Amino acid sequence: MFLTTDLNKSFYSLLKSLKKEALKYGGNIVKIKKQSHLESNKLFGGTRHRIKADIFYSKHVSKPKDKIITDKTTLYIYRYRGGFLVNYNLYLNDSLICEINSNIKKTIYLKKKGEYFLRNNKSDEKEIITLHKGQKIYVRCSSGKPFIQIMENKKGKLEFDNFTTN
């Protein structure tokens, strides 16, 4: 699916449109494959944003709990052994949150709320995540071709808790 904003509309408005389109098609997960800025001609001025994305559905998407235990979002990030020659950085929007090496297990606490991109520096693919207070997000990083995967909470917790680094 491709979406493009009108002239001088914000990137945030494009994300809102993308979310509505995903719901319209029965999806609840959006994977951004490419994002670009389109410059218009000098006569009209302004900038347009364009996104290429895939829409998916999963019944395992976690929702924030009614009771808020903490004011932080917890990211549990892990990568199994293998692919030791391929290291990359993990970003939340444009902020570096950690370096992904072989056999890594990290816990990161964020006070931010709202919609963000989770991406690495070796691929154009991005995951949109919505951060809520008290939320736990499990992120499995690949051992081969650099990609990130948001895990269903139950499976992600099991993998993260049973994963040991040496």
Asked if 29 and 57 touch (Cβ cutoff 8 Å), the reply is yes
pLDDT tens digit sequence for 91-117: 888 889 888 888 888 998 888 788 898
d(CA 138, CA 132): 14
For the chain, what are the domain ranges?
Answer: 2-56, 73-162
Q: Write down the CATH number for the domain with range 73-162.
A: 2.60.40
Q: What is the mean pLDDT of residues 156-164?
A: 87
Q: DSSP character for 22?
A: H
Cα angle, residue 66 at apex, residues 108 and 134 outer, rounded to 5°: 10
**Overall average pLDDT of the 31-54 stretch:** 69
Does position 1 have pLDDT exceeding 70, yes or no?
no
Question: Has residue 24 got a pLDDT over 80?
Answer: yes
Least confident of 31-45, 58-72, 152-166: 58-72
What are φ and ψ of residue 157, in 5° steps? -65, -45
Q: Has residue 68 got a pLDDT over 50?
A: no
Instruction: Report pTM.
Output: 0.55
pLDDT tens per residue across span 2-22: 666 555 566 677 777 888 888
